[in-house]
Amino acid sequence: MAHMKPTRRSWAEPFKIKVVEPLTTTTRQYRAKAIKAAGYNTFLLRSEDVYIDLLTDSGTNAMSDYQWAGMMLGDEAYAGSKNFYNLETNMRKYYGYQFLVPTHQGRGAEHIISQIMIKPGDFIPGNMYFTTTREHQERAGGTFVDVIIDAAHDPESVYPFKGNVHLQKLEELIRKVGAKRIPYISVAATVNMAGGQPISMENMREVRRLANKHGIKVILDATRAVENAYFIKIREKGYARKSVAAILKELCSYTDGATMSGKKDLLVNIGGFLAVNDEKLYDEARNMVVVFEGLHTYGGLAGRDMEAMARGMEEMVKEDYLRSRIGQVEYLGQKLLDWGIPIVQPIGGHAVFLDAKKILKHIPQDKFPAQTLAAEIYIDSGVRTMERGIVSAGRDSKTGAHRHPKLELVRVTIPRRVYTQAHMDVTAESILSVYEDRKRIKGLNMVYEPKHLRFFQARFDKL
Ligand code: F0G
Q: pLDDT by residue for the chain (463 residues), tens digit each?
A: 567 888 888 889 999 999 999 999 999 999 999 999 999 999 999 999 999 999 999 999 999 999 999 999 999 999 999 999 999 999 999 999 999 999 999 999 999 999 999 999 999 999 999 999 999 999 999 999 999 999 999 999 999 999 999 999 999 999 999 999 999 999 999 999 999 999 999 999 999 999 999 999 999 999 999 999 999 999 999 999 999 999 999 999 999 999 999 999 999 999 999 999 999 999 999 999 999 999 999 999 999 999 999 999 999 999 999 999 999 999 999 999 999 999 999 999 999 999 999 999 999 999 999 999 999 999 999 999 999 999 999 998 889 999 999 999 999 999 999 999 999 999 999 999 999 999 999 999 999 999 999 999 999 999 8
Could you identify the atom of ligand 1 that is nearest to the CA of residue 386? Answer: 19
78 flagged as catalytic: yes
**In this structure, are residues 281 and 117 in contact, taking their beta carbons and an 8 Å threshold?**
yes
Number of helical H runs and strand E runs in the chain: 16, 14
Half-sphere exposure of 175 (CA within 13 A, CB side): 6
**In this structure, are residues 244 and 226 in contact, taking their beta carbons and an 8 Å threshold?**
yes
Q: Which residues pair with 388 in a beta bridge?
A: 409
Half-sphere exposure of 178 (CA within 13 A, CB side): 4
89 flagged as catalytic: no
**In this structure, are residues 182 and 174 in contact, taking their beta carbons and an 8 Å threshold?**
yes
388 flagged as catalytic: yes
CB of 192 shorter than 6 A to ligand 1: yes
Extract the runs of DSSP E, i.e. beta strands, from 127-249.
Answer: 143-146, 184-188, 217-221
| Spatial separation of the C-alpha atoms in residues 147 and 186, rounded to whole Å | 10
Could you identify the atom of ligand 1 that is nearest to the CA of residue 56? Answer: 19
CB of 263 shorter than 6 A to ligand 1: yes
Q: What is the pLDDT of residue 9?
A: 84
264 flagged as catalytic: yes
Q: What is the pLDDT of residue 463?
A: 86
Alpha helices in 255-302 (DSSP H): 279-292
Structural domains in the chain, sorted by start: 28-57+319-462 (3.90.1150.10), 65-316 (3.40.640.10)
Closest CA to 377 of 325, 328, 327, 341: 341
Residue identifier of the C-alpha nearest atom 5 of ligand 1? 192
Helix or strand holding residue 275 (H, E): strand 272-276
**In this structure, are residues 239 and 245 in contact, taking their beta carbons and an 8 Å threshold?**
no
Q: What is the pLDDT of residue 456?
A: 95
Residue identifier of the C-alpha nearest atom 15 of ligand 1? 58
273 flagged as catalytic: no
CB of 389 shorter than 6 A to ligand 1: no
- Provide the whole-model pTM: 0.96
Please state, in angstroms and as integers, the Cα–Cα distance from residue 220 to each residue in 255, 274, 418, 430, following that order.
Answer: 6, 10, 27, 36
**CB atoms inside a 10 Å sphere around CB 422:** 8
Amino acid at site 375: A
Q: Among 110, 261, 305, name the best residue to mutate to test ligand 1's pocket (greatest count of ligand atoms within 8 A of Cβ).
A: 261
131 flagged as catalytic: yes
Helix or strand holding residue 44 (H, E): none
Q: Which of 134, 264, 286, 417 is catalytic?
A: 264
Extract the runs of DSSP E, i.e. beta strands, from 366-408.
Answer: 383-384, 386-388
CB of 378 shorter than 6 A to ligand 1: no
Q: What is the pLDDT of residue 146?
A: 97
